[in-house]
Amino acid sequence: PRLLIPVESTPGETRVAATPDTVKKFLSFGCDVSVERGAGTTSGYLDQAYADQGAQLIDPGDAAGWSQADIFLCVQPPSAASLARLRQGALVVGLLSPYANEELTASLKRGALSAMALELLPRISRAQSADALSSQANIAGYKSVLLASAALDRYFPMLMTAAGTVQPAKVVILGAGVAGLQAVATARRLGAVVYVSDIRPAVKEQVESLGARFIEPPKLEDKPAESGGYAKQASDAFLAAQRQQLSDQLAEADVAICTAQVPGRRAPRLISEDMLDRMRPGAVVVDLAVAQGGNCADTVPGQTVDRNGVKLIGGNDLPCTVPNHASALYARNLVALLEPTLKDGDLKLDLEDELIAGCLVAQDGNILRGDVLTPGA
């Protein structure tokens, strides 16, 4: 099969779906690879490096190049007009934002396309090397703490200086999934005192092993459980109790890092206007859930808002600010996902394999995961 690696078309997207290293891998599996000129420029991978590994360079949007592709590897989904240029039966693989995505559904049907949405990869051990949500969340968690430390008007570590002792920064981290745990580790490395809130009981031990303190979730009868390793949506009453509990913690915090999410749902609102009113001027909030509606009031995607001296950073695109490593890890995720499907120079999608069955949202235009793409339809 022939793979196509496009220049990403989403504004602000700096990553690329293949690196020269992963091109080499795909060639060793018996694939041909076309790379649009400039595809790796924003992430530090030069056209020549792809060509040196054996990729064929094509002009962006080259009609023949697109219509000959069997597998289209992207970070974010291309526009409907772009998808229409792929041949029938071509496979699109990427972070396709599948949840209730009518435009994507229509494009897949119209073009008789197949598609794998990496967001839907099951969270099982065997899937870890292909887990793009994790590789990218890890980067977001790391970078969120660096942004917070750069914006904060204080030191992170405790310091004993000739001018006296400086107390360590207090960092509150909301949500301890992949991004949150990396934020804990990064803040601890910088010397902060770290408190963590999550609603999955399994998290307590992980948080404590990283040297942070766990804030026990409110005890309510309808305490949300988890399914498939993910949190379930919490009730309004639970969230209200949780906000009350967090309000005192945040009033003493220098930094809050918000990473709490529930897949396919609006992010839980954990920091209200009232709670922001109690934070000290100079404190910093980084909201990684801002594009899903935000854990914190008043955060805006991609912007820093000054709210009475509290800096609110909308951290929706942090992996794009570390594009070289973000791309390298993402590209390796794609190799891990596709290698088992590329036997003997052919693409074979085994629907008995739970990894494939989980993320293959459509095959030749037939919608297989209508439960996700068109819920309620």
Residues that bind ligand NAD (CB under 6 A): 123-125, 127-128, 131, 133-134, 137, 174-180, 197-200, 203, 229-231, 234, 242, 259-263, 268, 270
* Minimum distance from residue 27 beta carbon to ligand NAD (Å): 28
- Marked catalytic residue, from 123, 188, 265, 278: 123
Strand partners, 164: 161
* Minimum distance from residue 203 beta carbon to ligand NAD (Å): 6
Q: What are phi and psi of 168, to 5 degrees?
A: -70, 155
Residue 174 or 190: the one with the smaller Cβ distance to ligand NAD is: 174
Angle at which helix 323-338 crosses helix 132-151, to 10 degrees, equals: 170
Active site (annotated) includes residue 131: yes
- The torsion of the CA quartet 232, 137, 187, 296, rounded to 10 degrees, works out to -50
d(CA 339, CA 29): 7
Tokens of 344: 């003997």
What is the chain's percent helix, strand, coil content, to nearest 5?
40, 20, 40
Active site (annotated) includes residue 244: no
- Marked catalytic residue, from 79, 88, 128, 233: 128
- In a 10 Å sphere around its CB, with 0-12 CB exposed, 13-18 middle and 19+ buried, how is residue 85 labelled? middle
- Marked catalytic residue, from 50, 53, 131, 369: 131
d(CA 203, CA 111): 43
Residue 144 or 363: the one with the smaller Cβ distance to ligand NAD is: 144
* Minimum distance from residue 216 beta carbon to ligand NAD (Å): 12
Among 60, 41, 61, residue whose Cα is nearest residue 50: 41
- Marked catalytic residue, from 34, 43, 114, 134: 134
* Minimum distance from residue 130 beta carbon to ligand NAD (Å): 9
Residue 48 or 233: the one with the smaller Cβ distance to ligand NAD is: 233
Cβ(90)–Cβ(69) under 8 Å?
A: yes
Residue type, 129: S
Residue 183 or 279: the one with the smaller Cβ distance to ligand NAD is: 183
Nearest residue to ligand NAD, scored by beta-carbon proximity: 177
* Minimum distance from residue 159 beta carbon to ligand NAD (Å): 31
In this structure, are strands 310-314 and 304-307 parallel, antiparallel, or unpaired?
antiparallel
Residue 39 or 360: the one with the smaller Cβ distance to ligand NAD is: 360
Active site (annotated) includes residue 155: no
d(CA 167, CA 91): 54
* Minimum distance from residue 238 beta carbon to ligand NAD (Å): 7
Active site (annotated) includes residue 50: no
Angle at which helix 323-338 crosses helix 20-28, to 10 degrees, equals: 10
Residue 19 or 259: the one with the smaller Cβ distance to ligand NAD is: 259
Helices vs strands, H then E, count in the chain: 13, 21
- Marked catalytic residue, from 153, 209, 230, 233: 230
Active site (annotated) includes residue 189: no
Residue 94 or 358: the one with the smaller Cβ distance to ligand NAD is: 358
Give the 3-state secondary structure of residue 118. helix
* Minimum distance from residue 65 beta carbon to ligand NAD (Å): 34
CA 117 to chain centre: 13
Q: Which residues carry out catalysis?
A: 123, 128, 131, 134, 230
